[in-house]
Each structure stands twice: as C-alpha cells, then as structure tokens.
Structure 1
Amino acid sequence: MGRLPDGEAAPADGRLPEGTAADAPFGTYIHVPFCSVRCGYCDFNTYTADELRGATRAGYPGDVAREIALARDVLGELGPLRPMRTVFFGGGTPTLLPADDLVAMLEGVTDAFGLAEGAEVTVEANPDSIDAAGLARLRDGGVTRVSVGMQSAVPHVLAALDRTHDPERVPLVVEWARDAGLEVSVDLIYGAPGESLGDWQRSLDAAAAMAPDHVSAYALIVEEGTALARRIRRGELAAPDDDLQAAMYEAADATLGAAGYSWYEVSNWARDGRVARHNLAYWRGHDWWGFGPGAHSHVGGVRWWNVKHPAAYRDRLAAGASPALAREVLDDETRRVERVLLESRIAEGLPVGLLEPEGRRAVAGLVADELVDGRAALAGRVVPTLRGRLLADAVVRRLLP
C-alpha cells in the first residue's frame, strides 16, 4: 500500500490554522477500508479480516461518528457550517458493510452538516457484495448513485486483476440499481496482463449495452509494493504496453462517444450531463473532509491525511484526539500549479489567465500540435483534444515550463 506523503505534524485537536478560508463548495469522502481479498494491482489503503489488529467492521461506523463530531467542531470555528453538496463512500469495498451501516454514517454527516438540495451521494459497490435489497435500502437511506466495479467483462482479464466476481452478475446489479431509482456508473480498467484490444472492446461493448449513466475507464498502473509489481519484476507477467493502452483509450472514446457518452475528464464519460459531481469537485479544487483511516482532506488551502491503519484510527479517536497524522499548508503558487494540473484534464478547461507568460505563449504551439482545442483557446480556455488527453503529462509540462 502506498505510503503517506511527508508534511508537518498535525495538531492533536485537529484545528486548522487561524484565518483558513472555508467558503468553497464542500463535500465529503468516507473511506471504508475493508476488502474480502486484496487485488494484486491495488495499493489503496485496504485491509482484509486478518489484518485488522483488533479493529472491527462492526465498530467502524462508531469510529467515523467520532471523526464527524470532530469535524463539526473544527469547521464550526471557521464560520457557518456548509451543507454537503456531495458524499462519496469509497474504499476498499463499502458494500462489505451492511447497508444500514452506510446509511448510519450518511445520517451522521447529514445531522452534523446538512445536505444541500439535490446533493449527490455515491456508494462504490463490488458486483458480488451487493444485491437488490441492499440497493433499495441505500436508496431509501438517501443514497442517489452507485458506482459498480465492473473492471472487465472478460473472465481471464478479471483473473489477471484478482477480481472474484462473475462478469454475468454486473448487468443484474445495474438493473437492480436502476430499479431502485439510483443513478449508475460502471468502472473499467484497461491494460491488464494478457488483455488484448479485442478483449477490451468486448468490455466496452458490454458496458455500453447496459446503458449506465456514467462510465470510468482507467489505465492499469503498476504501483510499487503491489503483488502485480512483484510478479512483473520476476518476469511472470508482462508490464502494460503504452502503445496498446493508447489504442485502448481511443477505442473507449470512440465506443462510448457512439453510445451517447461525452467525456468530461480524461478518464470519465457521462450521458445526459450525469457527471460524477464529487470527482469533478476534486478537479475544480473544492473543499472536502475525508473520513476514515488514510483519508485525505482539503479545506481552504490546508491539506491533511489520517493515520493509515483502522486500529490506529480507532485508538486516536477513542482517546479524544484527531486521527490526522500530518498536513501541509499550500501557498498561492502551489495552489495555482495544482489548478493547472487538474483543470487541464477536464472538458470545461483551464482558464488561460492562470498561466504564467511562458505558459500562455505555449498554448499556440499546443494548438498547432493538435494537443489543445483551437476554438476553446481563442475563448480563453485550455481544453485538451483526444490526442492531448493521450499526452496529458506532456501538455502540462509545456503549460508549466
């Protein structure tokens, strides 16, 4: 699992620096760190049952409730509390917890801060850890959207990713979610060992046939410290091929575009404006509080992250202390650079005025190289073309020379 970044020690009471602004749109991420098995490619902060060291799934909603109370106290010192525009349960596998536990945590957030009118509330779900009754309970409890971890429709690709679900269950989960009145997203991963372009096309066609509201498609990244990285290093599996992954991305954009989806961020497509508002808030630099072990938060230019292990998280909160391990206070230049990194990835684009003079001069060359949309540039925004999305890192390097 990836290590946490360095930073200054966070105060035990969790209080933010005096003068921290708390006026941006606000949301929350609730991390559920439990998995039945760990997928070989995953470096997320997750734990199987034999790794919990005394922490328990049953006790977890109570631990989160303590952090919610802390957050209300800390943010209440900055001014009027802001209602949550978005809530996102991620993991791990949130649906390993009973639906009632997820609803209880949502109620805790709602009681502490309130939900904005029309708030988006998303739960990530593995196909084999949710059923029709659970989805109906989530909807009755205030959840509006479910994100289904499909990953692939091809059994040998799922096996390469250590995914345990039956691909034939995914359409059932999508149908159950739709019957419950939930918006539906499906998540895909491309570039797994042994996956051909034909395999990927099969997965894309299967996803489009289910007609979800939203599709995410992420290139497989080999993270250090994972089982997949070790197997590639030993020569047991081939590393992802960059050219093949580029072809897979182009296939995704073509297939999803033909099916009525529009890209709004490099790895995300939506129908009928059903963008994932929570994720878009990250790319726009909004504020959020991340609850749970290893969760990251950002409020008014202050970023912090919690201790990683569920037992350490539980123990700090039980002792009346903040679970935050460290933090950093971002200066204006760092915040500007981060806006360039993030907003150059989204379809609404990056305001050219955010760039330094050399970066602004680079825009014409990016248009000439067909990496940035010329019409958008004339309107004062940097929007990547399809080629620019494939070469997003190169675009950023030219915007931030």
Structure 2
Amino acid sequence: MPSALPEGDPAPADGSLPASVVEGADSRNFGVYVHVPYCRVRCGYCDFNTYTASELGGTTRDDYAAQVGGELALGAGVMRSAGLPERPVSTVFFGGGTPTLLPATDLACMLDRIRAEWGLAPGAEVTTEANPDSVDAEYLRTLADAGFTRVSFGMQSAVPSVLATLDRTHTPERVPLVTQWAREAGLQVSVDLIYGTPGETLTDWERSIDAALACEPDHISAYALIVERGTKLAAQIRRGEVAEPDEDLHAEMYELADARFAAAGFAWYEISNWSRTPETRSRHNLAYWTGEDWWAAGPGAHSHMGGVRWWNVKHPGAYAQRMHAGVSPAHSRETLTDEARREERILLETRIAEGLPTDVLTASERRAIPALIADGLIDGRAAISGRVIPTLRGRLLADTVVHRLIAT
C-alpha cells in the first residue's frame, strides 16, 4: 500500500501561504507537478501514492482533469494573495501512477489550465511519465500537439523474468516502438531503468543497458531497487520467496551503467540520471534538487514554496471531495528553519554534477573536506575551486559524504 503522509502542522482550509514565501521568489524558478494516481496494476516494489480501479472506493477518473483544474486555479489565487511575483511556469511534470492511463485530451486540458493560470515560459519543459503499453503513436502526437516536449518511459528492464518479478505489464519489444513513435512526434525521450531486482544478474542488467541505449534516448534514469516496507516485494522477501537485494551487486551494476552510458556519450548530472547533452537534462527534477518553487496538484502531492512545504490529502476520494467543495486539498504543511534548509541543500546539491558551493558549509564542516578527498569520495580539484562534487565512489556512498559533512 502507499506510504503514509508525513506529520506536520494543519494546513489552512483556504490554502493560504505565509508572507515568508515571497522572500527571494524573484530569483527562483516556478514549476508545476501534476500527480495522476491511477495504475492498471500495482507493481510489487512500489509504495507511491497510486491506486488500481478496485482501490478507488467508488470514485472514478472521468472528471479528474476538472478536479486538478480546480486546484490549479486555487493555487494561482493563493500565490497572488501571498504577494508572490508573477512567474511563468518553467517546467511541468505529469507523474504517477500512470498519467497516460488518462485520455491524451485530459492531459492536454490540464496543461491548458496551467497556461491559463500562469503562462508557460519560452522553451518551457513539459514532461509526462508513461508506461510503454499505455500509449500509441496517435496518443504521443496528441501530446506533442498540445505542447508536451518530453516523455519518460518506465522501461525498467529488457529481461522478461525481471519484468515479471517487478509486476510490469509491458513486454521488452514494446519499448523500441514507443520510443520511435515519440521521436517521430518531436518529443524528447527518457527511459527509466531499475537495477538490483531479486534474481537479476549482472548479465541481465547489461542486456537492459544495451536495450536502453539501442532506443537512442536523450536521457536515462537508473535507480537501485529499494525494498519499501508494506510492499508486496517486502513481504516476499520476508517469507523467503525471493532473495534480498545484494548491495555489492548494486554497486557493480551502477559502475557498469555509468561506464556504458559514458561510452555512449551520456554524462551524469545527478546520481541516478544521465543526459546526452546539457539541454536534455530533466530541468524539472533539477528544480527539486536546487530548491526552486513548485505547486504540486493531485492526491498526496507535495508542494514547495520558499521554504514552506505542504502535502495534499492522500486518497483520490478525499481529494475529489475537497475539490467538489471548493476548498484546499492541502492536509498538512511545515515551514523549514534556515538551518533545515541549509542541511537539505547539502543533502541535495552533493548529488549533482555542479556540486555544492563550499561557502554553504560552516568552518567546522569544511574541515571534513580533506579527509573526503583522501578517501576518494569528492573531487579534489573541484574542492580547491570551491565546490563539493562527488567522485564515482562518492556517488555510490552519497549518504556517507553528507553524514561526514554535517556530523562534524
């Protein structure tokens, strides 16, 4: 089942934001995330806030675009009332779930509402996630005509047995077709991979890497499988039906992926993400890692504005009730202290290729840098130039890097 919402302070019924969100807003980009919580089946490893048809409790997805449109209108009003400057949307991301279970016209309708409320910046990046078996060529052309610029396909693996363990519903043969259709429609293409599935060998993983590169994507994400509490996979491991992930094998798989992607002309820009050029990075995800502002619409979606973070009610039924009543769907929120924001910046910016400016660190924290260089965890030349940038070994031990910086 989906993970529980975090604890926080009650959110105002009208969704209003504190005056503090205005500070520095002129220097921050603004993006929009739309969560589409629907899935055809629940994958055994997934604890995202998603629901199959049998879990919707009588609600349907027929008027979901209208519900989200209502929240987007509310969001624009809340931002104006808070005194935030008018900012066109730099990036839009439809995630889930499987956004492409909705008709393409519904996604286009929600994008039109974003345009109407805030406007899109010139060259705005507009992405949707998609399962390979949830779209066809006509669907992708409709998205492109509506203003979408990217599609991120959940490929996960090219090995049927691995896909079966992950409960994925598409076949490996489907991925080359949908990526070709997307390119023909004029969309940039990203593919998502997962490594470390129980039973997956290094040879299996190499096969998936080769298949992904053969699709000639613009961007690749590769995530280590994490066994989340409460998932089907966690229960299978607990019962001894499948083996626990092997951390050493995970490291080998990451190193293999990084080497193969680099040889094919891709550069890493975040620990789990590689792009063919700087222009094909996911600017929306970079906004998360660099602390920009975003409004997130939909059940359980998490927004951030100037150090204030809030999250919506979780179930689609509760969300629909709020939207039909014309009240904010926000459930709880938190206002980060300056120190919490600084530590979060350390956590996130040590994950990206540009790294973390060393002047963000205290004098005590900076004293950890020589040992991190000596242990091969951060780049020595970059550190001398004033930035903490992880090496390949540092990417594999990212939590260690952060812990040693902030624990001094």
TM-score range, shorter chain: over 0.9
Partner of 2:19: 18
Q: Hey, what does 1:64 align to over in structure 2?
A: 68
Q: Give, in whole Å, the separation in 2 of the partners of 1:110 and 1:225.
A: 39
**CA-atom RMSD in angstroms:** 0.7
Aligned to 1:277: 283
Shift of 1:19: 3.3
| Contact kept in structure 1, 2:37 and 2:316, CA below 8 Å | yes
User: Tell me, what secondary structure is at the counterpart of 2:189?
Assistant: strand
List gaps (5 residues or longer) in structure 1: none
Distance in structure 2 (CA, Å) of the matches to 1:257 and 1:80: 41
In 2, Cα distance between equivalents of 1:243 and 1:337: 29
* Contact in 1 for aligned 2:376/2:391 (Cα 8 Å): yes
The 5 A counterparts of 1:15-164 are 15-21=16-22, 22-23=25-26, 24-77=28-81, 78-164=83-169
The Cα offsets for residues 237-287 of structure 1, whole Å up to 9 and x where unpaired, read as 111000000000000000000000000000000002210000011000101
Identity %: 66
How big is the shift at 1:80?
A: 2.9
Q: Deviations over 1:206-244 (max 9, x none)?
A: 111111000000000000010000110111111100000
Match of 1:398 in 2: 404
Q: Which residue number in structure 1 is paired with residue 333 of structure 2?
A: 327
Hey, what does 2:362 align to over in structure 1?
A: 356
Give the residue type in structure 1 aligned to 2:161: H
Verify: 1:232 aligned to 2:237, yes or no.
yes
What is the identity, as a one-letter code, of the residue corresponding to 1:395?
V
Counterpart in the other structure of 2:7: 6
CA distance in 2, matches of 1:79, 1:304: 17
Give, in whole Å, the separation in 2 of the partners of 1:69 and 1:299: 17
State the shift of 1:117 in Å: 0.5
Displacement over 4 Å in runs of 4+: none
Give the drift of 1:62.
0.7
Secondary structure at 1:20 match in 2: helix
Shift of 1:174: 0.5
SS of match in other structure, 1:165: coil
**2:269 equivalent to 1:268:** no
**Count of aligned positions:** 401
The question of 1:220 aligning with 2:225 is answered: yes
Give the CA deviation at 1:55.
1.9
Q: Which residue of 1 aligns with 2:321?
A: 315
Residue 249 (structure 1) aligned to one of 245, 254, 260: 254
User: Greater CA deviation, 53-62 or 329-338?
Assistant: 53-62
**Local SS of the residue matching 1:19:** helix
How far 1:54 sits from its partner (Å)? 2.5
Aligned AA (1:16): L
> How far apart are the structure 2 equivalents of 1:229 and 1:82?
43
Is 1:344 the counterpart of 2:350 in the alignment? Answer: yes
TM-score normalised by length of structure 1: 0.99
Contact 2:30 2:293 in 1 (8 A): yes
State the Cα deviation string for residues 284-311 of structure 1 (Å, max 9, x = none): 0101010000000000110000000011
Inter-partner Cα distance in structure 1 for 2:19 and 2:196:
46
Asked if residue 173 in structure 1 is aligned to residue 178 in structure 2, the reply is: yes
Moved more, 80-89 or 142-151: 80-89
> Residue 20 of structure 2 contacts residue 306 of structure 2 at CA under 8 Å; is this kept in 1?
no
Task: Please report the TM-score for the alignment, with normalisation by the length of structure 2.
Answer: 0.97
